[in-house]
Amino acid sequence: MINFVAPGLLPENATFRQLFETPITQAQERGATLVQCMLGAARAEYVCVCVTVHLCTYMCDSTYAYTHNLMHPTSHHQPHHHHH
């Protein structure tokens, strides 16, 4: 889903699985080593930070655009009166 909202933020599916999904999943399995747990936690945090920063930026930009348009409507939205 994040690739739809922010293309290129995270790698494509196969690379994402290799770099993030597999280590995160392995870290959650019973019997995971300390190294697997640390790697999985670090990769999960990286994904979380990337997505959070992007979504916060997107929401701030959207909110700014919305409030700016409310406070500064463009003239083409107002009716024109022609005097003859």
pLDDT tens digits, residue range 43-69? Answer: 999 998 888 888 887 777 777 777 777
Taken as a whole, the chain contains a residue count of: 84
Instruction: Give the pLDDT confidence of 14-45 residue by residue, as tens digits.
Output: 999 999 999 999 999 999 999 999 999 999 99
Separation in Å, CA 67 to CA 25, 31, 37, 56, 64 = 42, 52, 44, 16, 5
What pTM, to 2 d.p., does this model score? Answer: 0.64
